[in-house]
Chain A
Amino acid sequence: GASFGTGMERVIVAMQDPDMGMKMRNQRLLITVIPHAMTGNDVIEWLIQKYNITEEEARHLGGLLVQYGYIYPLREPRSLLLRSDDSPYRFQTPYFWTSSRWPATELDYAIYLAKKNIRKQGELVDYEKENYSILHKRINHTWDFVVMQAREQLRASKQRRKADRIVLECQEQAYWLINKPCVNMPLYYHYTTLGRNRVKSSICLESFMKYSEQYLHHDPIMSGCLPSNPWISDDTSHWTINTDMVGIPTRLRVERWSFSFMELLNDSMGRREFMIYLEKEFSAENLCFWVACEDLRHGESSKIILKVEEVYKNFLAPGAARWVNIDSKTMERTLEGIKRPHRFIMDDAQMHIYFLMKKYSYPRYLKSELYKNMLAKAIVPQETKKSVFPFMRRQRHSSPSPAMVTQATEDDGKAKGAGPTGTSSTTNSQI
């Protein structure tokens, strides 16, 4: 869009004004000195001064400048964040400005990837390797040109000063991180989708039949609900007997836990019961691990590194208090990945443990005394008949706002509302 682009560009131009702009200096990057660079702190300070804004707003604005590629980081180029410390940044050359550029062409991108590939074997990361082979198929007719250009550009860059070369590489890399060409690749897509495993219609459609039958009595619109539908009777009993903290659950609710493992975990009471069962079986660490991984996946970006460390310490380190038993291959991969933590780093391990619980612990739980007792003592509410005087409306009571309830029981920074049931669910990993 033109409007915000030119707005950001005005800021960038102002930042580079020879008199009122930012004071730039040489920044050290390992052993090379990069000229005309600034620190993240400098950027924020300058924005605060120039526009008379708060630090929070300056951080947000600065962050956008990085996200949209007008400023790029020299250290950790893949992390497009503006750090308010002495991390070095540089202005992107106008050729690479998001707004002035044509939509990144496949040709440009192919040349860039070819250069990277020629310069150093194994330099391309996963998605780049994939894109490289897609492009090789797709614009195969231009490949001689691509390789030639890549070679020539590399040769010319060798003749530049090292500092200039590093800067150019950083500029290019920053640009392509943001501007990966659009995924509109019919040929490649068709090749992959042809190979996909598809299920016969009859099997899929049977599953719809089964599902609606299984959930029939749980669907208030299909079967009504007990003791009455609150929207009709103005009586909220149906909700109060189904809260998280209720002493004795309803029969329908406990039955639903047997429909699928996901149903059991989605209900905070079901999850608590399952945890009690696992403790008896001395395998509670599995569920704790799963909960901690969910918290990592859905939590704040800023807490990722901390949470990964915690998970490693509690569940994966040799001799950990709650060590989880995952296969050696997955463990190896996970431990390797922890060196560069991100929010999906535990996915493989989490899935392994999830399917372990689903296959072994869950069916045993459903056969256990614990579950059977729960089912036996679960209540079946009496249906409330419609009032004799239908024109007398009950008073509709208000309920405490979820915001109020959660503020009173504010936890120690665990992802707010994490977990499918959300409201006041206590998904702490130290149960």
Chain B
Amino acid sequence: MCDQTFLAITFGPCDSCSENRPLMNLYIKTEPINYCSLCMEIMACQGLASGETLKSLKAESETLRKKLEEERKKLHDVELEKVAEKAEALGELNMKTRRTLKGHGNKVLCMDWCKDKRRIVSSSQDGKVIVWDAFTTNKEHAVTMPTTWVMACAYAPSGCAIACGGLDNKCSVYPLSLDKDENLAAKKKSVAMHTNYLSGCTFTNSDMQILTSSGDGTSALWDVESGQLLQSFHGHSADVLTLDLAPSETGNTFVSGGSDKKANVWDLRSGQNVQSFDTHDSDINCVKYYPSGDAFASASDDSTCRLFDLRADREVSIYSKDSIMFGAASVDFSLSGRLLFAGYNDYTINVWDVLKGTRVAILFGHENRVSSLRVSPDGTAFCSGSWDNTLRVRQEGRGVGRELKQGGTTLYG
């Protein structure tokens, strides 16, 4: 097929390699010829400046990289553990499961809290998305997606809608209807379209925009009402598995983690990759900002969780133990950022002292991988979703920082 206006051949045999490919018009001494992209590249490189080869360019890149590492090291004047020596030790953590949400027929892959601090949306492998009042354990809404493996779900800030997606490569928004008989699927709105599976989604500060991450290696920002692509973010060289929005004053950045072992920080406005961290040894499954927005934590298949400081531009702490051999799937901070909860593929949840780098507790209970984990908006509990088809809401009995209170009476009032 050619364009009706032009006689130029746009697809056919290349004049150089004879392969059938999309063709580019090239001019050699004003004579038009048709080359495919590959042959054009080769022809262009024949004009390499003397002394310059692809090898020399690579070497220049390496030298710069080393210089960068040196600069970063110069400013690293102390380790977190040393600074944290003067922090009070934590007491014994006594977290119990307070609610178990049963109702999914298959693996729970993702969950998110509503801003009302008690409702939860969860999605599973069999395509079901359920909205619960976790406090009463009642199911309030249920939707069956026309796809399996719903890997991402999110609650809208207003509490009036949810977003979800997975193997369908889309992110769809469902307004939550109050009419019990109404079919939620009828009001479904398709917002995002990727060219591979949807791995993560989150609303930004309102119900009107959604940020998505995908197996196609990109993240993207969408306008919910029109489905328009507002910005796309390119830079990962493999699947993007996770993202988190920054709680900063200017609200303009987010971090993503991928199968390329990299964590990238992006500017929402320009689409630029502003910072990159690549110290993990395997896929990064989850990233979460520290509450102040100055750092973020990551969970990886290399069985470690790490803390990256954005101002120091480096990794500042690593949370690992020889006895932990399975990948970490999900992390979240307690409200003050002192504790880091992490769910693992060996069915456990490890709780870390963020400052001291030590493990405070190990929590059992799930009968399969922990896939998703989030602390509630007011920090009163955290919820974990698992491949054992259940979700558990857990809470600490007495307050693990209780050691710090004088003689059992509260310090304020």
A interface residues with partner B (beta carbon < 8 Å): 1, 4-5, 13, 35-36, 60, 63-64, 67, 80-81, 91, 93-95, 100-102, 105, 107-108, 127, 139-142, 144-146, 148-149, 152-153, 155-156, 163-164, 167-168, 171, 180, 182-184, 186-187, 189-191, 193-194, 196, 198-209, 211-226, 229-232, 236, 238-239, 242, 251-252, 261-262, 294, 297-302, 343-344, 347, 351, 354, 380, 383, 396-399, 401-404, 406-407, 415-423
B413 within 8 A of A: yes
Q: Which residues of B contact A416 (CB under 8 A)?
A: 156, 158, 160, 206-208
A208 touching B295, Cβ below 8 Å: yes
Q: Which residues of A contact B311 (CB under 8 A)?
A: 198-199, 203-204
CB of A268, distance to nearest CB on chain B (Å):
11
Given contacts A145-B44, A221-B379, A225-B380, contact A67 B159 (CB under 8 A): no
B140 within 8 A of A: yes
B303 within 8 A of A: no
Looking at A5, A163, A230, A422, the one whose CB has the most chain B CB atoms below 10 A away is A422
CB of A109, distance to nearest CB on chain B (Å):
12
Give the distance in Å from the alpha carbon of A306 to the alpha carbon of B37 in the complex. 45
CB of A372, distance to nearest CB on chain B (Å):
16
B49 touching A418, Cβ below 8 Å: no
What are the 3 A-B residue pairs with the smallest beta carbon separation, nearest first? Answer: A402-B159, A417-B158, A152-B27
Q: Which residues of B contact A190 (CB under 8 A)?
A: 61, 64-65, 67-68
B402 touching A216, Cβ below 8 Å: no
Q: Which residues of B contact A229 (CB under 8 A)?
A: 380-381, 395
A146 touching B44, Cβ below 8 Å: yes
B269 touching A347, Cβ below 8 Å: yes
Given contacts A108-B24, A190-B65, contact A231 B228 (CB under 8 A): no
Q: Which residues of B contact A80 (CB under 8 A)?
A: 228-229
B115 touching A423, Cβ below 8 Å: yes
B336 touching A215, Cβ below 8 Å: yes
B195 within 8 A of A: yes
| Stretch from B103-111, B219-227, B280-288, B342-350 that touches the partner | B219-227
Given contacts A81-B228, A216-B338, A301-B223, list 16 more A-B pairs with CB under 8 A: A4-B169, A127-B270, A164-B5, A194-B71, A201-B314, A218-B335, A221-B380, A222-B400, A229-B395, A231-B135, A403-B175, A404-B178, A406-B158, A407-B160, A415-B206, A423-B115
Q: Which residues of A contact B38 (CB under 8 A)?
A: 102
A60 touching B190, Cβ below 8 Å: yes
Q: Which of A63, A163, A223 contacts B227 (CB 8 A)?
A: A63
Give the distance in Å from the alpha carbon of A251 to the alpha carbon of B294 in the complex. 27
A202 touching B133, Cβ below 8 Å: no
A-B contact pairs, 8 of them (CB 8 A): A155-B27, A155-B30, A219-B338, A220-B380, A222-B400, A231-B381, A300-B225, A380-B413
CB of A117, distance to nearest CB on chain B (Å):
18
B208 touching A298, Cβ below 8 Å: yes
Q: Which residues of B contact A218 (CB under 8 A)?
A: 335-336, 379
| Stretch from B142-150, B321-329, B404-412 that touches the partner | B404-412
B176 touching A403, Cβ below 8 Å: yes
Give the distance in Å from the alpha carbon of A177 to the alpha carbon of B312 in the complex. 35
B316 touching A205, Cβ below 8 Å: yes
Looking at B3, B23, B115, the one whose CB has the most chain A CB atoms below 10 A away is B3
Q: Which residues of A contact B102 (CB under 8 A)?
A: none
Smallest CB gap from B137: residue in A: A396
B374 within 8 A of A: no
B279 within 8 A of A: no
| Stretch from B80-88, B122-130, B363-371 that touches the partner | B80-88
A149 touching B68, Cβ below 8 Å: no
Q: Which of B224, B291, B355 contacts A215 (CB 8 A)?
A: B291
Give the distance in Å from the alpha carbon of A225 to the alpha carbon of B205 in the complex. 27
Q: Which of B44, B52, B80, B135 contacts A107 (CB 8 A)?
A: B44
Looking at A95, A145, A421, the one whose CB has the most chain B CB atoms below 10 A away is A95
Give the distance in Å from the alpha carbon of A341 to the alpha carbon of B292 in the complex. 32
Smallest CB gap from B32: residue in A: A156
B320 within 8 A of A: no
B160 touching A232, Cβ below 8 Å: no
Given contacts A184-B237, A212-B338, contact A204 B208 (CB under 8 A): no
Give the distance in Å from the alpha carbon of A242 to the alpha carbon of B117 in the complex. 11
Smallest CB gap from A239: residue in B: B117
Q: Which residues of A contact B405 (CB under 8 A)?
A: 223
Give the distance in Å from the alpha carbon of A159 to the alpha carbon of B284 in the complex. 54
B49 touching A94, Cβ below 8 Å: no
B185 within 8 A of A: no
Q: Which residues of B contact A200 (CB under 8 A)?
A: 75-77, 312
Give the distance in Å from the alpha carbon of A232 to the alpha carbon of B99 in the complex. 10
B45 touching A141, Cβ below 8 Å: yes
Give the distance in Å from the alpha carbon of A67 to the alpha carbon of B291 in the complex. 36
Interface string of B193-227 (1 = CB under 8 A from A): 10110000000111111000000100000011111
A94 touching B205, Cβ below 8 Å: no
A422 touching B158, Cβ below 8 Å: yes
A183 touching B234, Cβ below 8 Å: yes
Smallest CB gap from B66: residue in A: A190
B77 touching A402, Cβ below 8 Å: no
Give the distance in Å from the alpha carbon of A388 to the alpha carbon of B322 in the complex. 44
Give the distance in Å from the alpha carbon of A404 to the alpha carbon of B412 in the complex. 37
B13 within 8 A of A: no
Q: Which residues of A contact B181 (CB under 8 A)?
A: none
Give the distance in Å from the alpha carbon of A156 to the alpha carbon of B405 in the complex. 81
A198 touching B312, Cβ below 8 Å: yes
Interface string of B45-70 (1 = CB under 8 A from A): 10111001000010011001101100
Give the distance in Å from the alpha carbon of A36 to the alpha carbon of B3 in the complex. 10
B114 touching A251, Cβ below 8 Å: no
Q: Which residues of A contact B41 (CB under 8 A)?
A: 105, 107
A221 touching B335, Cβ below 8 Å: yes
Q: Which residues of B contact A204 (CB under 8 A)?
A: 294-295, 309, 311-312, 316
